Structure 1
Amino acid sequence: MLKTYKISITGQVQGVGFRPYVYALSSQFNLKGTVSNNEQGVVIYISGKKDTVECFYQKLITSPPPVSKIKNHTFKEIKTIYFNDFKIIPSKKNGHLNLPLTPDFAICNDCKKELENNKNKRYHYPFTTCVNCGPRWAITQTFPFERNNTSIEKFKMCKTCLEEYTNPLNRRFHSQTNSCKTCGIQLELYNNKRELISISKHNIFHEIAQLLSKGKIIAIKNTSGYLLCCHAENSEVIQKLRIKKHRPNKPFAVLYPSLKKLQNEIQLNAQQLQSLTSTERPINIISLKNYTGKLALTEIAPKLNQLGVMLPYTGILQLLANELSFPIIATSGNIHGSPIISNNTEAFEKLKNVADYFLQHNLTIEHPQDDSVVKFSTTFKQEVLFRRSRGYAPNYLNTSLNSKEKILAMGAHLKSTITFYPNENLYVSQYLGVLDNFEVYNRFCKTSNNFMQLFEQQPNVILVDKHPLYQSTQYGKELAEKLNSKAVEIQHHKAHFTAILGEHNLFEEKVLGVIFDGTGYGNDANIWGGEFFNYENNTIKRIGQLENFDWLFGDKMATEPRVSLFAISPKEMLPFLKQKFTLNELNNYTNLKSKNKLKTSSVGRLFDAVASLLNIADFNSYEGEAAILLENSISSYNLKKCKLYCKTNSTGFSGKEIITNCYNDLKNGNTNEQIICNFLYTLASTILNFATKKDYKKIAFSGGVFQNTTLIDMLYELASKEIKLYFHKNLSPNDENISFGQLMYYLHINN
């Protein structure tokens, strides 16, 4: 006897070929019914014999489409409905959006082959996509994810594209981003005087490759925003790009034309290989040990023995790569500190003095995104997200929440993100940037409004950082007043702690939180950054810290590591400090220090102080430069040869003791490498000793310091089997996770 069943699927199930997959599966099982998108995900009505339908259901949930991610699924019998066949029916909007959004996917192998097949209709068509790949979040205007809700809607499908779209046997069956060179997006090449370069579309990438080989800088509009590109083996043009982009030292990412060429020059491990070829296709930071290529490394990554590399992830980049015999710089299309540009007119206005040529297209990018960045630790292969953006945002699937309140979390200031909880799902925006920059601030505000418009929901709770001068805090409070919402302040480091608790769902445990970063406004009005927290029974208590030292000159401490060294050094080091300051500076700083009342426990500034002590960096030209150069100064470590620079006590540890012992070793002729290894060993040992003294079995880590993969490896190596360590996997340990942590704090913490 035929029966009818309703199957509901939630998760990342729209824009991933889920409905076409269900259609094909129903044909295999000879079942009839319908499938459609709705505000929650995908809903299927299906009729057939019970055993057959159950087999269909099991196959569906255990072997879904490759880029889908099922969160929940239900299966229930309903009143019998008689169907003549199986159909994909149009989505109907009956309520507010309540499903995960779909991130952008890297070009799949099938589409990549079509680009290179001169007998295929999509030969050399840069915007070739299918149900398994292509832009999603970048072009989303509203949901459900249907073509008419995206910016590709203005490109009406031609007859053959429409035939593919309606053919159940075709890979592009119901592919919402389907287009071809006949009906699709058009490319044009301009010089920086806005003069159109007359060239056939077939030869445009060959021409760009030639221009790159001649030392030209090209602004390439990708499907998530502009990239500034130049020859990565040409030191002169890279230095020229640095000057024009106002980016003196921060490393550039390098796009390799093929995996084969990359592997010929750089040694990859299995985790890096998988990441570089994944649907997210992030930049991977990789050691240059045994490097054999011709890159202008001094200009690409000054003073570093590591390199950010990536592979082509769109049709545009793949077609360019096919014409290249050399790697290229592929850095965000902006002036350093500003948000990535995606608008054609804006690109001309702001990059005309940077780029020699502009490759543009007429697809509107709704949500510009930088490339995501990851790094794996050397020994234990722990993955660390340095920047969570294209390919990851705006979904966060690893949680189940239950609150009737609509909550908007505004995040921090330096690495801003926004987290929105308008329904049963959670959304974490792409990395937005530093809110000191007016254009970043405008994009931050726009992203907040976009979320509210997209979900047709206004928050009744807005969460902000306790720092009164953060732009995110001020905007959040203004928005709360405008919307008549409740504004709640949450301390920065407690937000970090609850971010890692939330990521690993540790709210039923007793956990030691170790939160080490550069800066955050503390509950005592001092600057925190080296904190030990206890969590149990939905309560957080600060139980230890890096011993306070002077916070001098505000933001100057973050930009001048020498000031951190001065602030934390004992009087005995004054003769050493004379080489780093003028006599006038020393007199003024000493006078200020004697009167200073503002203190800090920042481990980030402790890293800066060690870097300055070892003459690695006295000034930062980009955030975290000294700490990056510090880790970069060691090639390996041997824990048996490391020694402690301070003792662990019941309230934490002393940075002044660490600096004193570093200084003594430096005077005694120890190498920088050994001193840095000792320093990192001291931090790792201090954390584990503190946990042991207070009988913790679980330690959760957050804050920008834990982007140091050597420190992570040491912690794993030193930890006893009884202690479980938790690091971020789905979020960055830096301030990008603050907005998520604010939400977790509000929902789970009572104090």
Structure 2
Amino acid sequence: MLKTYKILISGQVQGVGFRPYVFGLANSYNLTGTVSNNEEGVIVYATGNTSNIFSFYNDLIENPPKVSKIQTHTISETEIKEFLDFQIIPSQKEGKLNLQLTPDFAICDDCKQEISDSDNRRFQYPFTTCVNCGPRWAITKTFPFERAHTNMLDFNMCGTCQEEYSNISNRRFHSQTNSCPNCGIQIHLTDAEGVSLNIPKASIFKEVAALIKKGHSIAIKNTGGYLLCCDASNKEAIKTLRLKKNRPNKPLAILYPSLNLLKDHFEITGYQERALTSSESPIVIIPKGNYKGYLMVDDLAPNLNQIGVMLPYSGILQLLANELERPIVATSGNVHGSPIIASAEVAKTELNRIADYFLHHNLEIAHSQDDSVIKFSPEFDHKVIFRRSRGLAPNFFGSVISDETILAMGSHLKSTIAFLPNDYLYISQYLGNLDNFEVYNRFTETVSKFIDLFEQNPTVILTDAHPSYHSSQYGKEFAKNKRIKQYDIQHHKAHFASVLGEHNLFESDAPILGVVWDGTGYGDDGQIWGGEFFRYQLNKMERIAHFEYFDWLAADKMSKEPRLSLFSLADEEIEGHCSKQFSKEEWKVYKTLKKKNTLKTSSVGRLFDAVASLLNICHNNTYEGEAAILLENYVTDYSIENCKLYCSALEHSQIPTKTLLMNLYEDFKRGASKSDVIVNFIYTLANLVFQVADLQNLNHIALSGGVFQNTMLIDMLKNIAKNDYTLYFNCNLSPNDENISHGQMMYYLNIKQS
């Protein structure tokens, strides 16, 4: 007896070849019916015998398309429907959007093969995609994910592409981004003045490669925005790019043409290789180690023993790699501090002072994105996300339920927004530092785009408690204008809540220690927090300990000048050591400022800065977090068994910050090497976590904040914890301020309202 069942599937199921896959699978089980996208995911009506339908359903759920991620699925019998066959039917939107959005996917091996095959009709066509790869979020205007809802609408498929699109046996069957050289996106090469070079299309990438080999820099419009590229083996080209981009020391990302060449030059682990070749294809930070290549590694990543590498993840980058067969610099196309540029008009204006040539294309980018960045710890291969963007945003895979429509404005540095308009939580790609006017504009545009996309205005606005953060000011003004509720969430409590939310720990019976260490955050007592310990249990969070306060001097200047952190913490003896880093006039001003100062901080981030300055490693940061990065990179090897403590936790709720620094200084004076001092410093910090845990009788520990991007610290924590403690870190979000918007959401839903 024939029956009809309705199947609903939600998650990352649009733009991933799900409907074509369902079509083929349904036919293999002799079912009739339909499959379509809707505002909630994929909806299937299947008619056949019950046994076949359930076998089809189980097969679909257990073996979905490779880039899909199923979140929920249901099957229910419905009234019998008669179908002549099984069809993919046009999507019908009957309500508001309620599904996960689809991130961009790296070019697949099949498409790579086609664009490199001179006998293939897509030879040298840089926008070759299929159901398994290509841009998604970058070109999305609205959902459900159909060609008409993307910027591919501007390109009508030719007869051959349409035939592929309609052919069930073709991997481009219902591929919404399908195009070819005859009907697709066009590229053109210009000089810095915008004058087009008269180059045949088939030779453009050969010409770009030749220009790079000659030492020129090229601004290349990729799938998520412009990249600035030059020869990574040309010292002068690198120096010129750094000078023009005002980026003197910050490491530059390197695009390798192939995994084989990368492995010839560097030793990489299985974890690193899998990340590099994944559908997300992020930048992966790897050790320089015994480098065996010809790159200017010290110019690409000055003073560091690590470097960020990636593989071609788009047809554009793959075709360039085919012609170059050598690594190139591929850094974000922007001016210092500004967001990545996606518009040709803006690029011509802003980047013509940096790039010698431009490679443009005419596909509009709806959501510009930087490359995501990750790193694995050396001993335990613990993954740390440094920047969550292309390939990772904007979905959050977790359980979030609320009757309210909530918009969390996030932090100020490394800003993101989080939006909860339905059954899913969406967290934007990394946006940047809101002190920059262009970043602030990108931030406000992102807020508007999310609201428009989901056709819902928020009913609650969440902001950081810092009154001067631009995100907080914008959120409060937004709430005031819309006459909706607005709540402040303390910065470090949001960090802690982000980890609790990622690991679904809010309902845990066991009390949890929260350790939040970063550079800065406005505290409940009006001081600058950054070295905090919290206790969470039964929807209550309280601060139980912190690093001893020291002077917060010269406002934001302190985060840019590690010498000020050292001066703030210094006793008379250390003052003598650090005074030579200041002019006489500066010394006089800062001595006076220190005497009159009332604003204090517990920042572990600034403590890292002080140690870096004390050891004469870094006195002034040229990029955010430089001192802390240099500290970690100073160590090449250590034995945890030989480490020693510079201080112990106190029972009166304070870690003796100054004692720690003084003992460290004494060790350095006695002749301990810089490397040994740094190892002991990190070991002391790791040990303090467990000392506080023991004082509080806690063995579940959640850790967040930018300090926990230090992979040596993470490995030490895991070494000490063994099986006696359970550690929780941010895993799908960065531990830095990118997770604040998520943490604000988690705090509001689980603590603020309790």
Report the Cα distance in structure 2 between the residues aligned to 1:612 and 1:508, rounded to whole angstroms.
43
What is the Cα deviation at residue 483 of structure 1?
1.6
Report the Cα distance in structure 2 between the residues aligned to 1:260 and 1:649, rounded to whole angstroms.
53
Query: 1:151-190 alignment to 2 at 5 Å?
Result: 151-190=151-190
Report the Cα distance in structure 1 between the residues aligned to 2:677 and 2:67, rounded to whole angstroms.
46
Task: Name the residue aligned to 1:592.
Answer: 593
Report the Cα distance in structure 1 between the residues aligned to 2:441 and 2:298, rounded to whole angstroms.
35
Report the Cα distance in structure 1 between the residues aligned to 2:40 and 2:714, rounded to whole angstroms.
39
Structure 2, unaligned runs of 5 or more: none
Report the Cα distance in structure 2 between the residues aligned to 1:335 and 1:298, rounded to whole angstroms.
22
What is the Cα deviation at residue 574 of structure 1?
2.2
Partner-residue secondary structure (3-state), 2:693: helix
What is the Cα deviation at residue 582 of structure 1?
2.2
Partner-residue secondary structure (3-state), 1:692: helix
Task: Name the residue aligned to 1:701.
Answer: 703
Task: Name the residue aligned to 1:17.
Answer: 17
Partner-residue secondary structure (3-state), 1:330: strand
* Identical-residue share of aligned pairs (%): 59
Task: Name the residue aligned to 1:501.
Answer: 500
What is the Cα deviation at residue 584 of structure 1?
2.6
Partner-residue secondary structure (3-state), 1:517: strand
Task: Name the residue aligned to 2:343.
Answer: 343
Task: Name the residue aligned to 1:667.
Answer: 669
Report the Cα distance in structure 2 between the residues aligned to 1:547 and 1:303, rounded to whole angstroms.
31
Report the Cα distance in structure 2 between the residues aligned to 1:640 and 1:74, rounded to whole angstroms.
53
Aligned residue among 712, 730, 742 for 1:740: 742
Residues 362-396 of structure 1: per-residue CA shift (max 9 Å, x gap): 00000000000000000000000000000001111
Task: Name the residue aligned to 1:680.
Answer: 682
> Relative to structure 2, which stretch is displaced further, 313-322 or 684-693?
684-693
Task: Name the residue aligned to 1:33.
Answer: 33
Residues 79-105 of structure 1: per-residue CA shift (max 9 Å, x gap): 111111000000011110000000000
Partner-residue secondary structure (3-state), 1:497: helix
Task: Name the residue aligned to 2:54.
Answer: 54
Residues 187-232 of structure 1: per-residue CA shift (max 9 Å, x gap): 1000011110011111111111110000000000001000000000
Task: Name the residue aligned to 1:416.
Answer: 415
Task: Name the residue aligned to 1:135.
Answer: 135
Partner-residue secondary structure (3-state), 1:506: coil
Query: 1:532-551 alignment to 2 at 5 Å?
Result: 532-551=533-552
Report the Cα distance in structure 1 between the residues aligned to 2:618 and 2:351, rounded to whole angstroms.
31
Residues 447-468 of structure 1: per-residue CA shift (max 9 Å, x gap): 0000000000000000000101
Post-superposition, which runs of at least 4 consecutive aligned residues in structure 1 deviate over 4 A? none
> Relative to structure 2, which stretch is displaced further, 346-355 or 112-121?
112-121
Query: 1:468-617 alignment to 2 at 5 Å?
Result: 468-509=467-508, 510-617=511-618
What is the Cα deviation at residue 116 of structure 1?
1.2
Q: Does 1:201 align with 2:207?
A: no
Residues 387-431 of structure 1: per-residue CA shift (max 9 Å, x gap): 00000011111x122211000000000100000000001100000
What is the Cα deviation at residue 700 of structure 1?
0.4
Residue identity matched to 1:622: Y
Residues 690-715 of structure 1: per-residue CA shift (max 9 Å, x gap): 11221112100100000000000000
What is the Cα deviation at residue 349 of structure 1?
0.4
> Relative to structure 2, which stretch is displaced further, 241-250 or 373-382?
241-250
User: 1:165 touches 1:173 (CA, 8 Å); kept in 2?
Assistant: yes
Task: Name the residue aligned to 1:238.
Answer: 238
User: 1:14 touches 1:41 (CA, 8 Å); kept in 2?
Assistant: yes
User: 2:459 touches 2:485 (CA, 8 Å); kept in 1?
Assistant: yes
User: 1:250 touches 1:302 (CA, 8 Å); kept in 2?
Assistant: yes
What is the Cα deviation at residue 123 of structure 1?
1.0
Partner-residue secondary structure (3-state), 1:322: helix
Aligned residue pairs, count: 750
Partner-residue secondary structure (3-state), 2:215: coil
Partner-residue secondary structure (3-state), 1:157: coil
Report the Cα distance in structure 2 between the residues aligned to 1:585 and 1:302, rounded to whole angstroms.
28
Report the Cα distance in structure 2 between the residues aligned to 1:735 and 1:2, rounded to whole angstroms.
55
Residue identity matched to 2:711: T
Report the Cα distance in structure 2 between the residues aligned to 1:305 and 1:526, rounded to whole angstroms.
36
Report the Cα distance in structure 2 between the residues aligned to 1:584 and 1:165, rounded to whole angstroms.
72
Partner-residue secondary structure (3-state), 1:323: helix
Partner-residue secondary structure (3-state), 1:395: coil
What is the Cα deviation at residue 626 of structure 1?
0.2
> Relative to structure 2, which stretch is displaced further, 685-694 or 459-468?
685-694
Residue identity matched to 1:742: Q
User: 2:35 touches 2:45 (CA, 8 Å); kept in 1?
Assistant: yes
Task: Name the residue aligned to 1:727.
Answer: 729
What is the Cα deviation at residue 591 of structure 1?
1.9
TM-score by length of 1: 0.99
Report the Cα distance in structure 2 between the residues aligned to 1:335 and 1:574, rounded to whole angstroms.
38
Report the Cα distance in structure 2 between the residues aligned to 1:271 and 1:2, rounded to whole angstroms.
48
Report the Cα distance in structure 2 between the residues aligned to 1:161 and 1:584, rounded to whole angstroms.
71
What is the Cα deviation at residue 585 of structure 1?
2.1
What is the Cα deviation at residue 589 of structure 1?
1.5
What is the Cα deviation at residue 586 of structure 1?
2.2
Report the Cα distance in structure 1 between the residues aligned to 2:551 and 2:199, rounded to whole angstroms.
62
User: 2:393 touches 2:427 (CA, 8 Å); kept in 1?
Assistant: yes
Report the Cα distance in structure 1 between the residues aligned to 2:85 and 2:56, rounded to whole angstroms.
16
Partner-residue secondary structure (3-state), 2:106: coil
Q: Does 1:252 align with 2:252?
A: yes
User: 2:11 touches 2:99 (CA, 8 Å); kept in 1?
Assistant: yes
What is the Cα deviation at residue 290 of structure 1?
1.1
User: 1:652 touches 1:690 (CA, 8 Å); kept in 2?
Assistant: no
Q: Does 1:691 align with 2:690?
A: no
What is the Cα deviation at residue 572 of structure 1?
2.6
TM-score by length of 2: 0.99
User: 2:650 touches 2:656 (CA, 8 Å); kept in 1?
Assistant: no
Partner-residue secondary structure (3-state), 1:61: helix
What is the Cα deviation at residue 282 of structure 1?
0.2
Residues 553-605 of structure 1: per-residue CA shift (max 9 Å, x gap): 11011000000000011223222122212233222222221221111000000
What is the Cα deviation at residue 747 of structure 1?
0.2
Report the Cα distance in structure 1 between the residues aligned to 2:173 and 2:705, rounded to whole angstroms.
45
Partner-residue secondary structure (3-state), 1:74: strand
Report the Cα distance in structure 1 between the residues aligned to 2:535 and 2:38, rounded to whole angstroms.
43
What is the Cα deviation at residue 652 of structure 1?
3.5
Residue identity matched to 2:594: K
Report the Cα distance in structure 1 between the residues aligned to 2:572 and 2:96, rounded to whole angstroms.
63
Query: 1:651-662 alignment to 2 at 5 Å?
Result: 651-662=653-664
User: 1:36 touches 1:88 (CA, 8 Å); kept in 2?
Assistant: yes
> Relative to structure 2, which stretch is displaced further, 280-289 or 295-304?
295-304
Report the Cα distance in structure 2 between the residues aligned to 1:642 and 1:465, rounded to whole angstroms.
38
Task: Name the residue aligned to 2:316.
Answer: 316
Task: Name the residue aligned to 2:326.
Answer: 326
Residues 61-119 of structure 1: per-residue CA shift (max 9 Å, x gap): 00000000000000111111111100000001111000000000000011111111122
Query: 1:196-235 alignment to 2 at 5 Å?
Result: 196-235=196-235
> Relative to structure 2, which stretch is displaced further, 718-727 or 96-105?
718-727
Task: Name the residue aligned to 2:76.
Answer: 76
Query: 1:620-635 alignment to 2 at 5 Å?
Result: 620-635=621-636
What is the Cα deviation at residue 304 of structure 1?
0.6
Structure 1, unaligned runs of 5 or more: none
Task: Name the residue aligned to 2:43.
Answer: 43
Q: Does 1:104 align with 2:114?
A: no
Partner-residue secondary structure (3-state), 2:76: strand
Report the Cα distance in structure 2 between the residues aligned to 1:223 and 1:740, rounded to whole angstroms.
27
Task: Name the residue aligned to 1:444.
Answer: 443
Partner-residue secondary structure (3-state), 2:260: helix
Residues 105-153 of structure 1: per-residue CA shift (max 9 Å, x gap): 0000111111111221111110000000000000000000000000011
